[in-house]
Amino acid sequence: MNYGTEINSEGFTIINAVYTENEIEKLISLIENKTETDNENPTFRKSQDLFAIRQFHKEFPETLDFIFNENLKSIIENTFGKGYFITKSIYFDKPQKSNWFVAYHQDLTISVDKKLEIENFDNWTVKQNQFAVQPPKEILEDNFTVRIHIDKTTKENGALKVINNSHSKGIFRVENLKLENETICEVEKGGIMIMKPLLFHASNKTTNNERRRVIHIEFSKTELPQGLEWSEKTILN
């Protein structure tokens, strides 16, 4: 099945049963074995409300064979075509009693290897030697994100809320966002959500004492200009 029509019109789609129970349990095992023994890693961010691992696919390369099973590879190729590569990945673990929430926003930055003065590349930041920049919107419009759900995700444990079709309006201020056509994106354990970076999305606090773990992976097929490179670029086999 091609999910491109829904992604183009609504900005997202939800696909359940992409992973088997065994595949999810293997991912959990690989993640937990390393996080229990590597507490000093600078890419790990831990608080009572959130545990996040940046550059996840680089820190946990052993998970990639399980993440990119035949189901996911087929979905990506049939929906977007060939030539896409990983540009960023983050593992989010929202604990059972988390009060962490995220207000409505668009994903406007990409991770790059250095800072260069390039036209239409703006709003530079750097964290832990990681440069981020807002590229031209055409790059963001062509990119997509896959969110792999390790736990059943509902409105009670922080499922994403999105504003349908808000990705089609370009980049604009959240103050101008009209909260109509809002969808709560509940996803089964072993399912995925695919979304466009310019889709406005948010996440509420957890209210049901259930954990929510997600692997967030961003993709592009764009080569950056003037010697600028994606800092986390990984080409899939």
pLDDT per position as a tens digit, 138-194: 999 999 999 999 999 999 998 999 999 999 999 998 888 888 899 999 999 999 999
53 SS3 class? strand
Compute how many other C-beta atoms are within 10 angstroms of the C-beta atom of residue 168.
14
Single pTM value for the model: 0.93
Average pLDDT, the chain: 91
From CA 150, how far away is CA 148, in angstroms rounded?
6
Fold of 4-220: Jelly Rolls (2.60.120)
27-60 pLDDT, tens digit each: 999 999 887 655 555 555 555 545 788 999 999 9
So what's the pLDDT on residue 38?
Answer: 55
Domain boundaries, the chain: 4-220
So what's the pLDDT on residue 37?
Answer: 58
Are 158 and 98 contacting, i.e. CB atoms less than 8 angstroms apart?
Answer: yes
So what's the pLDDT on residue 97?
Answer: 66
